[in-house]
Amino acid sequence: MAITVTVQAAEQIKKKLAARAQTTAQSGLRIGVKGGGCSGLSYVIEFADAPRAHDRVIEVDGVKVYVDPKSAIYLDGTVFDFETKLLQSGFVFKNPKVKSACGCGESFTPAV
């Protein structure tokens, strides 16, 4: 298993990186999880201008996505996608390990 970044997500990341002044050739996206939130863990989705030591790097369509090793465990099997709906569009973690999420869905409890 691994983490999959869809082509749609990569395209959007590319656009958003391009719209940013500080973007360099090293710049990419950092995805991960961190503690907190009412259901245990919440997702991180930030720009990253350089990788950190031990990061795993996923490259799709020339876009770099960085994941720290611990987050990679929680995100194993996840499809990172971009969805467009009428109400809003945005990135989505499709994580098979999530067994429950809080009311707002922004934090979650992974299955053991």
Q: How far is the CB of 2 from other proteins (least distance, A)?
A: 18
Tell me whether residue 34 or residue 56 sits nearer to other proteins (CB atom). Answer: 34
Tell me whether residue 56 or residue 102 sits nearer to other proteins (CB atom). Answer: 102
Residues, the chain: 112
Q: How far is the CB of 53 from other proteins (least distance, A)?
A: 16
> Which residues contribute to the site for other proteins (CB under 8 A)?
11, 13-16, 18-19, 29-30, 34, 36-38, 42-49, 83-95, 98-108
CA distance linking residue 60 with residue 71, whole number of Å:
19
CA distance linking residue 34 with residue 37, whole number of Å:
9
Q: How far is the CB of 97 from other proteins (least distance, A)?
A: 9
Closest among 60, 3, 74, 1 to 28, alpha carbons compared: 60
Question: Helix and strand tally (H, E) in the chain?
Answer: 2, 9
